[in-house]
């Protein structure tokens, strides 16, 4: 067990929904969530398909440990071909929705085709309905969830939905579940919108079982105890991930003003201390910390906006609490756009969840627009009369709302920075890899991070590798290939279990995952098998991308990071040493110098048929 052994397949073109047995050969080879979703994606679509066309397949994938008492068991992934990148998209989310899909009896939900008119899915155990979404199409994520729960008179439903941004094809539109958690990156929300699918609402009463309950619970309890004792877990609980902003500032790797700089003078106004400071009028940003399903870390923030702040002073509908800022939102609405107004950041964060957009890509796209504006390449005539200068908090919040509603210049921002900068004839100001914007770590200060960004299968992503320790110890590119590859494989495995990556950051070694998987799932799952599974998953993702038309030329970084030295911080004077690291990386991966997995590597991983 662990798995439900059941997949729900929905064809929106024909309006049918049927369940089928889970392919257990694939489950044994790819585990679940990211890995299993990738296998199903490969087998169900042509990687050359148009990401916003009906032949793209949208998959919601849980892991074998989703919905169990293992700590952090709320994770699920959304997979498809990404419209932002043209590469595989695998976006991870927490909250409660993924666990609920599992409790309803499903490992995976596959969505094919395109509905003739807007619809939403209503799933209660075996009962699956495709229902008209007329009343909610064109409205926000928050309104959608409220409407669905009221309409079905079922407050126990969990809802994953898109906002207007996803409906209108904003390239970085995301899927929001449980009001303020998200499958954020690569434009998975736009894919859902292209299928005329507004939301998936789910309630489950079947439950989840494990193969060896006694052994599993012992392992789960050990996992809980490790986290309880961990100092890095304590930090995540108390400060959320935004604890990083002060570290990155001091380290000198904090991308500022579209990566022109690596340190930002305003961090003390938007860091965790600022979030708990009480203003003269009594307002305090942070209200509470919250957890995703099953999580004993609780890094989530709940915050509210000062009622007197310009963004909400006349808008009572935004006076309530909701998801507060974490590190990436802080980076994307703070240093990279030069803004240091905590309430503006928080409001923009609310808008991301309300309208369904990725804050990382929005912020970095806005940063590129600000650079274009400051260089005079675009003017107020282009930007709806808004002064798009770095540091302009009103520009941040006004543009966030315009993009969410797909209005005015928001339609241009909604292209993502790559297409936008190409549109204005200056692709060099787009800070992306494979079309996806960077997260809050500068590749010149963190060399291994740069290699990870360049080689991540879904475009620039900070989560698919973990070489922080090596990057802190040695700020050159030497010896980064091995830890990059090893961590990529390990994380691909973790992303396939149904548990959260942060457990690894908060005290768990790989043994903790191994014990719980081995006890929960049929068969033997020694560590070597799990790590090999991770390597197999990474290579399968690579094969998808190669078939989609990507090449080694796409494993690169923007000129700014390769040629413009970091102006300050511990890496002052450095550029990315990608050219040195990449060949080492390909070799260590068992790939050709052109970045293609060799026949031997594929055969070793059981992917020989793809050679």
For another protein, the binding residues in 249-278 under the rule CB under 8 A are 250-252, 272-273
Smallest gap from residue 232 Cβ to another protein (A): 7
| Residue placing its CB nearer to another protein in the complex, 292 or 557 | 292
Pair of tokens at residue 386: 């808004």
Smallest gap from residue 228 Cβ to another protein (A): 7
Q: Should residue 163 be labelled a site residue for another protein when binding is judged by CB under 8 A?
A: no
| Residue placing its CB nearer to another protein in the complex, 267 or 432 | 267
Sheet of 16-21: strand order equals 16-21, 6-11, 108-112, 58-62, 76-81, 88-93
Q: Should residue 103 be labelled a site residue for another protein when binding is judged by CB under 8 A?
A: yes
The residues in 203-222 that bind another protein, with binding defined as CB under 8 A, are 203-210, 213, 217
- 526 touches 519 (CB < 8 A): no
Q: Should residue 519 be labelled a site residue for another protein when binding is judged by CB under 8 A?
A: no
> How many of the chain's residues bind another protein (CB under 8 A)?
81
Q: Should residue 232 be labelled a site residue for another protein when binding is judged by CB under 8 A?
A: yes
Q: Should residue 69 be labelled a site residue for another protein when binding is judged by CB under 8 A?
A: yes
Smallest gap from residue 481 Cβ to another protein (A): 19
- 42 touches 52 (CB < 8 A): no
One residue of 110, 133, 162, 248 binding another protein per CB under 8 A: 248
| C-alpha closest to that of 274 among 249, 311, 310 | 249
**What does R_g of the chain's alpha carbons equal in angstroms?**
22
One residue of 22, 161, 295, 368 binding another protein per CB under 8 A: 295
One residue of 167, 358, 505, 577 binding another protein per CB under 8 A: 505
Print burial letters for 32-54: b (CB count within 10 Å at least 16), e (below 16): bbbbbbbbbbbeebebeeebbeb
Smallest gap from residue 505 Cβ to another protein (A): 4
Cα 518 from chain centroid (whole Å):
27
The residues in 319-338 that bind another protein, with binding defined as CB under 8 A, are 320-323, 326-328
| Residue placing its CB nearer to another protein in the complex, 24 or 288 | 288
One residue of 30, 172, 293, 333 binding another protein per CB under 8 A: 293
- 551 touches 45 (CB < 8 A): no
Distance CA(440)–CA(350), nearest Å, equals 19
Distance CA(557)–CA(481), nearest Å, equals 16
| Residue placing its CB nearer to another protein in the complex, 9 or 462 | 462
One residue of 150, 276, 288, 579 binding another protein per CB under 8 A: 288
| C-alpha closest to that of 60 among 18, 24, 90 | 90
One residue of 164, 340, 471, 515 binding another protein per CB under 8 A: 471
Print burial letters for 265-304: b (CB count within 10 Å at least 16), e (below 16): ebbebbbbebbeeeeeeeeebbeebbbbbbbbbbbbbebb
Sole window of 31-39, 79-87, 429-437, 458-466 interacting with another protein (rule: CB under 8 A): 458-466
| Residue placing its CB nearer to another protein in the complex, 37 or 252 | 252
Smallest gap from residue 213 Cβ to another protein (A): 7
Give the position of tokens 């068969």.
523
């Amino acid at each position: 067990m662990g798995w439900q052994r059941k997949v729900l397949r929905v064809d929106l073109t024909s309006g049918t929904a049927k369940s089928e047995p889970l392919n257990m050969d694939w489950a044994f080879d790819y585990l679940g969530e990211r890995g299993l979703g990738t296998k199903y994606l490969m087998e169900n679509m042509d990687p050359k398909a148009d990401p916003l066309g009906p032949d793209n397949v949208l998959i919601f994938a849980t892991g074998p440990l989703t919905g169990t008492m293992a700590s952090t068991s709320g994770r699920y992934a959304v997979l498809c071909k990404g419209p932002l990148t043209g590469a595989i998209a695998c976006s991870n989310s927490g909250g409660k929705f993924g666990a609920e899909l599992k409790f309803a009896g499903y490992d995976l939900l596959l969505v094919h085709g395109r509905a003739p008119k807007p619809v939403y899915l209503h799933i209660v155990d075996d009962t699956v309905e495709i229902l008209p979404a007329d009343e909610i199409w064109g409205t926000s994520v928050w309104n959608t969830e409220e409407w669905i729960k009221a309409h079905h008179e079922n407050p126990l439903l969990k809802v994953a939905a898109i906002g207007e941004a996803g409906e209108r094809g904003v390239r970085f539109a995301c899927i929001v579940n449980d009001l303020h958690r998200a499958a954020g990156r690569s434009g998975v929300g736009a894919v859902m919108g292209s299928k005329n699918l507004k939301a998936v609402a789910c309630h489950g009463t079947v439950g989840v079982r494990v193969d060896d309950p006694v052994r599993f619970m012992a392992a789960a309890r050990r996992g809980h105890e490790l986290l309880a004792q961990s100092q890095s877990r304590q930090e995540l609980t108390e400060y959320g991930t935004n604890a990083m902003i002060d570290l990155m500032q001091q380290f000198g790797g904090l991308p500022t003003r579209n990566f022109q700089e690596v340190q930002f003078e305003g961090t003390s106004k938007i860091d965790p201390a600022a979030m708990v400071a009480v203003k003269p009028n009594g307002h305090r940003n942070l209200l509470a910390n919250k957890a995703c399903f099953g999580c004993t870390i609780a890094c989530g923030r709940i915050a509210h906006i000062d009622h007197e702040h310009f963004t909400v002073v006349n808008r009572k509908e935004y006076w309530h609490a909701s998801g507060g800022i974490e590190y990436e939102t802080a980076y994307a609405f703070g240093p990279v756009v030069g803004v240091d107004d905590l309430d503006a950041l928080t409001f923009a964060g609310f808008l991301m969840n309300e309208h369904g957009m990725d804050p990382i890509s929005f912020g970095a796209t806005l940063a590129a627009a600000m650079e274009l504006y400051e260089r005079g390449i675009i003017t107020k005539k282009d930007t709806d009369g808004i002064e798009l200068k770095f540091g302009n908090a009103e520009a941040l919040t006004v543009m966030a709302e315009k993009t969410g509603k797909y209005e005015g210049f928001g339609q241009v921002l909604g292209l993502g920075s790559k297409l936008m900068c190409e549109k204005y004839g200056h692709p060099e100001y787009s800070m992306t890899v494979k079309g996806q914007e960077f997260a809050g770590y500068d590749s010149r200060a963190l060399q291994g991070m740069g290699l990870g960004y360049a080689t991540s299968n879904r475009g620039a992503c900070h989560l698919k590798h973990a070489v922080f320790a090596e990057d802190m110890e040695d700020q050159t590119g030497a010896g980064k290939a091995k830890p990059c590859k090893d961590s990529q494989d390990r994380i691909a495995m973790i992303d396939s279990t149904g548990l959260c990556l942060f457990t690894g950051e908060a005290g768990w070694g790989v043994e903790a995952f191994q014990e719980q998987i081995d006890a929960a799932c049929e068969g033997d799952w020694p560590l070597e098998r799990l790590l090999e599974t991770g390597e197999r998953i990474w290579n399968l993702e690579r094969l998808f991308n190669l078939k989609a038309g990507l090449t080694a030329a796409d494993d690169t970084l923007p000129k700014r990071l390769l040629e413009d030295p970091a102006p300050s911080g511990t890496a002052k004077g450095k550029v990315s040493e990608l050219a040195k690291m990449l060949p080492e990386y390909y070799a260590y991966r068992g790939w050709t110098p052109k970045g293609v997995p060799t026949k031997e590597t594929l055969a070793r991983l059981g992917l020989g048929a793809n050679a």
